[in-house]
């Protein structure tokens, strides 16, 4: 099997995490509606603690009252309200002398937790107070595709500054223990390595704390001994799930999605179960698979899927059992249709659809899908564009072709049918076409569905140099269609179909011109044959469909020459009916030879037809001469016989006595003596 790796980025990761951060970090927009005139800033330190399964946050807060006294009345604030993420716990506060302050949870909603910290004393206009406030960000569990994760081997959490809108001077520090690979998804903090090995990110003073939001993911290699294994069977597919010992929910999620989604996706693709009957799926970190959320290696049928276990990622990687470099060679085809069928399955099942999408921010990264190569850096906006564009192209193709049309196209691709072959006609088949690329996919689609996909290819697929080939292709296809229509259902010659399939359009047009010449000769054969009492043989069609245009041209010329021989023989038969001709035809049967020649022609035995026609022609045209020779020969022979008879008679009746021999003239005595 050709080694193929399919990778997948879960939607637009940054955009998704920003949205998640907005939900989780309501503290970035503090609840000040009831505290007008009170502002605060904080120095926040976020320390990841995987051993305790938390991120411990310490806020050193300075609050200042700006309340204006009026009418002899003084205004004060008894405390400060903070809005914290919903996944928080263990709230404690201390004044600047280390004494605890009263903390109460006043409001708890799905969007955040509002807590109140009571000051040690009232805060009047112009006064400030400093205190510390601690809390923990904790992983409350739930769906495996949740964004917030804090485990022993992987942590993914949001970070923000805390302060009043527009209040300058706040800052953030994030500390992650050694041994972890850290990725800042967004936020643009400055990183360094502490002497103790921790990775430290700092923001420095910020102009507006509410504008600072970041997201961090940290992971370390999970020892093989920390994996558990579960085996399941889905239809004809044996699946092995390898997952972290502290994350059984991941395996449960993957099993649920595959059990319901795999059969749906298999039926949509229409190729049945893949040739690979086993699949291993292993839980992984995003960093462990190069910044992707999923990766498939067709050489060993292994899918590595992020701990997110997003349904569309799971099914996207499963779809690579079909779309993995064996069915199609271009990456955008494999990735685009793996995403397309995964999306179709999750939509039919009512699962969350986190498919790649094209946001306005990605449009500046636009590039032709055929330019997608290994040079495109993983995790970049360019790659995000390519994933989104490949899915959009696949959607548009499917909308034009229909699901049944796509099924037929994939069947042709699996059989590696030549692009212009005619399935079911083994006598006219071309050599297998190899793995489908963007050219053959375009040919398959247009020939199978009768629709045009050129605009889709121009918008999404081709590079400028490749786009220049499309008008030439359109012209050649137009000539091809016109010639095919003129054949009256004959299959086009293999050399023409091969040239079209390999996009050798100059060669194809030259061969199409030659094919038009063949069809003109065929018309002459069809018009002439009845006049000669015969019918066109099927030989020309067979040669045209299975050998090529040059051989068909030769065959057509031979058939016309044979018809000419039949015509010449037929015309020779109408000559005069003289006695000499009748005598000359004795012992021959040119009529039978001509009939046999017509039969041989209709059966396709051109050489025999010509030989018999020539024989009949020779018999008829030479009959008078032969007859005259025969007659003259007979007359001469008869005259000779009569002359001999007359001579014989004359010699027997006209001799004198003295002409007798001497022995007859001797007397008796002489005879006695003798």
Give the tens place of pLDDT for each residue, 342-365: 999 999 999 988 888 899 999 999
Residue 287 has a pLDDT of 72
Question: Is residue 643 very low, low, confident or very high in pLDDT (cuts 50, 70, 90)?
Answer: low
pLDDT of 617 reads: 79
For the chain, how long is the longest CA-to-CA vector? Answer: 216
SS3 58: strand
- On whether the 5-11+224-415 domain is CATH 3.40.250.10, my answer is no
pLDDT at 580 over 50: no
Averaged pLDDT for residues 216-225:
88
Predicted confidence at residue 657, as pLDDT, reads 52
pLDDT at residue 636 tops 50 = yes
Phi, psi of 296 (to 5 degrees): -130, 130
Most confidently predicted of 223-227, 292-296, 466-470? 466-470
DSSP state of 376: S
pLDDT at residue number 629: 62
| 498-520 pLDDT, tens digit each | 999 999 999 999 999 999 999 99
Q: Which of 134-148, 365-379, 548-562, 641-655 has the lowest mean pLDDT?
A: 641-655
261/318 Cα distance (integer angstroms): 10
For the residues 485-493, what does the mean pLDDT come to?
92
> Which residues, including other chains, have CB under 8 Å from residue 116's CB and lie 6 or more apart?
79, 80, 81, 82, 103, 104, 106
Return the pLDDT at 14.
46
- pLDDT at residue number 669: 45
d(CA 221, CA 231): 23
Weakest-pLDDT range from 18-32, 397-411, 553-567, 612-626: 18-32
Query: What average pLDDT does the chain have?
Result: 86
Q: How many CA atoms lie within 13 A of 98 on its CB side?
A: 0
Q: Which CATH superfamily is domain 31-219 in?
A: tricorn interacting facor f3 domain (2.60.40.1730)
Helix pair angle (248-269, 331-349), 10° resolution? 110
Q: pLDDT tens for residues 160-214?
A: 999 999 999 999 999 999 999 898 878 889 999 999 999 999 999 999 988 898 9
More confident call, 575 vs 382: 382
Question: So where are the chain's domains?
Answer: 5-11+224-415, 31-219
Q: Residue 32 has which token pair?
A: 């000040």
């Amino acid at each position: 099997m050709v080694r193929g790796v399919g990778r997948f980025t879960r939607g637009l990761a940054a955009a998704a995490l920003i949205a998640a951060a907005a939900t989780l970090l309501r503290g970035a927009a503090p609840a000040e509606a009831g505290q007008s005139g009170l502002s605060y800033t904080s120095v926040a330190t976020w320390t990841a603690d995987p051993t305790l399964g938390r991120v411990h946050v310490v806020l050193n807060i300075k609050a200042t009252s700006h309340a204006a006294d009026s009418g002899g009345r003084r205004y004060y604030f008894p405390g400060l309200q903070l809005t914290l993420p919903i996944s928080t716990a263990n709230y404690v506060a201390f004044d600047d002398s280390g004494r605890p302050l009263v903390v109460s949870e006043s409001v708890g909603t799905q969007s955040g937790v509002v807590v109140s910290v009571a000051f040690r004393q009232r805060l009047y206009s112009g006064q400030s107070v400093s205190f510390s406030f601690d809390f923990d960000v904790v992983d409350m569990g739930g769906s495996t595709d949740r964004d917030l994760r804090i485990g022993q081997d992987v942590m993914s959490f949001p970070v923000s500054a805390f302060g009043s809108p527009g209040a300058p001077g706040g800052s953030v520090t994030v500390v992650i223990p050694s041994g972890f690979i850290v990725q800042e998804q967004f936020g643009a903090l400055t990183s360094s390595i502490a002497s103790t090995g921790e990775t430290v990110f700092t923001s420095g003073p910020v102009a507006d704390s509410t504008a600072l939001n970041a997201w961090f993911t940290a992971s370390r290699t999970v020892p093989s001994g920390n994996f558990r294994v579960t085996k399941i069977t889905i239809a004809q597919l044996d699946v092995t799930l390898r997952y972290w010992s502290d994350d059984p929910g991941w395996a449960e999620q993957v099993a649920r999605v595959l059990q319901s989604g795999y059969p749906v996706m298999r039926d949509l693709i229409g190729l049945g179960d893949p040739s690979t009957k086993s699949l291993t799926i292993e839980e992984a970190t995003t960093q462990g698979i190069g910044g992707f959320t999923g990766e498939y290696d067709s050489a060993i049928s292994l899918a590595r899927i992020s701990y997110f276990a997003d349904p569309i990622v799971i099914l996207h990687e499963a779809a690579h059992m079909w779309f993995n470099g064996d069915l199609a060679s271009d990456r955008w085809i494999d990735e685009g249709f793996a995403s397309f069928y995964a999306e179709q399955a999750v939509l039919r099942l009512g699962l969350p659809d986190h498919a790649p999408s094209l946001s306005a921010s990605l449009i500046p990264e636009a590039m032709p899908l055929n330019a997608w190569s290994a040079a495109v850096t993983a995790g970049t906006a360019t790659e995000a564009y390519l994933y989104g564009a490949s899915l959009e192209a696949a959607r548009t193709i499917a909308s034009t072709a229909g699901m049944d049309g796509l099924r037929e196209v994939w069947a042709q691709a699996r059989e590696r049918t030549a692009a212009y072959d005619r399935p079911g006609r083994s006598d006219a088949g071309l050599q297998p076409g190899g793995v489908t690329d963007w050219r053959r996919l375009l040919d398959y689609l247009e020939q199978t569905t009768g629709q045009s996909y050129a605009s889709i290819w121009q918008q999404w697929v081709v590079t400028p140099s490749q786009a220049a080939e499309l008008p030439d292709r359109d012209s050649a296809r137009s000539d091809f269609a016109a010639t095919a229509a003129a054949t009256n259902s004959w299959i086009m010659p293999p050399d023409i179909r091969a040239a079209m399939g390999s996009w050798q359009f100059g060669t194809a047009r030259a061969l199409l011109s030659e094919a038009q010449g063949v069809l003109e000769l065929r018309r002459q054969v069809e018009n002439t044959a009845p006049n000669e009492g015969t019918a066109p043989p099927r030989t020309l069609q067979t040669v045209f469909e299975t050998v090529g245009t040059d051989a068909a041209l030769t065959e057509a010329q031979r058939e016309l020459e044979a018809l000419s021989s039949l015509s010449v023989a037929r015309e020779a038969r109408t000559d005069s009916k003289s006695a000499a001709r009748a005598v000359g035809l004795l012992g021959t049967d040119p009529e039978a030879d001509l009939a046999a020649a017509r039969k041989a022609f209709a059966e396709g035995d051109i050489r025999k037809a010509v030989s018999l026609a020539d024989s009949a022609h020779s018999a008829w045209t030479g009959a008078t001469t032969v007859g005259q020779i025969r007659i003259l020969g007979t007359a001469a022979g008869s005259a000779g016989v009569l002359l001999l008879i007359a001579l014989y008679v004359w010699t027997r009746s006209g001799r004198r006595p003295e002409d007798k021999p001497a022995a007859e003239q001797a007397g008796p005595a002489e005879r006695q003596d003798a």
